[in-house]
Amino acid sequence: MSDHGHRTPSEAETPATPGRKRSEAARLAILAATRDLIEEHGYEKLSIAGIAARAGVGKDTIYRWWPSKSMVVVDAVLLEDQPFHTAPLARTASVDQDVRDWVHTVTQDYMEPAGASRVRALTAAASEDPATAQMLYGRYTQVQRIALVDRLREAAEAGELRPDADFAAVADAVLASLLYWVTTRRTDLQSGSADPLLDVLLRGLRP
């Protein structure tokens, strides 16, 4: 039987200590500094020492939470509110239009200088460390891939698209093309840049 007179307060009931507030403030400052430096200088010139200096903390403070630069980058970008478009596709009478509208929105993220620099930083971070790559895929790429595949499968069930089509391959082709354009610093990227690719893919999905 519990002793109600001497129960231990829950975490929610425990008042935050000054140390906890300072730690959280330092963590947020590190993440904000990382995002700013990515946009200003890119991933290649980013360093733990530079992040620490911008955030006003010591390097040991950063290593207390993250084992590497790449892991700091992943958290700094993907823990933001809606850093990239990952919402499900619309469900209208036209799967073609739903796919195009969704891809246009994703492309808009990549067209913004801040968005493009973050995509390139995430790609570089993932290439350096398998664990970072897996985390990036789970938090971001996989979410987008599933959203697109789910809409295509629903259209196939409704008789709009071929049921034997490889919808995962279609999603990979779209997302990989966008990523290629951003990482190669394509300067003419527009919201409709993927339309020629979509023309080919969607035509091939027809019954």
Q: CA angle, 66 as apex, 117 and 132 as ends, to 5°?
A: 55
56 and 110, same domain (yes or no): no
64 and 138, same domain (yes or no): no
Report the pLDDT value the prediction gives residue 139, as an integer from 0 to 100: 87
Report the pLDDT value the prediction gives residue 20, as an integer from 0 to 100: 60
129 and 190, same domain (yes or no): yes
Residue 39 in this model has a pLDDT that exceeds 50: yes
Report the pLDDT value the prediction gives residue 56, as an integer from 0 to 100: 97
42 and 143, same domain (yes or no): no
CATH of the domain at 121: 1.10.357.10
55 and 138, same domain (yes or no): no
Report the pLDDT value the prediction gives residue 67, as an integer from 0 to 100: 92
Residue 21 in this model has a pLDDT that exceeds 70: no
Task: Give per-residue pLDDT as tens, 81-121.
Answer: 667 888 999 999 999 999 999 999 999 988 888 889 999 99
Distance, in Å, from the CA atom of 151 to the CA atom of 186, rounded to the nearest integer, reads 28
Range of the domain at 24: 15-68
Report the pLDDT value the prediction gives residue 15, as an integer from 0 to 100: 44
Mean pLDDT for the stretch of residues 138-156: 95
Does residue 179 sit within a domain?
yes
107 and 166, same domain (yes or no): yes
Does residue 62 sit within a domain?
yes
Helices (H), the chain: 18-41, 48-55, 59-65, 69-78, 95-111, 113-128, 130-136, 142-157, 167-183, 195-205
Residue 168 in this model has a pLDDT that exceeds 80: yes
Task: Give per-residue pLDDT as tens, 191-206.
Answer: 999 999 999 999 999 9
Please provide residue 189's backbone torsions phi and psi, each rounded to the nearest 5 degrees.
Answer: -65, 130
| Confidence band, pLDDT 50/70/90 cuts, at residue 4 | very low
| Confidence band, pLDDT 50/70/90 cuts, at residue 19 | low
188 and 109, same domain (yes or no): yes
Report the pLDDT value the prediction gives residue 131, as an integer from 0 to 100: 87
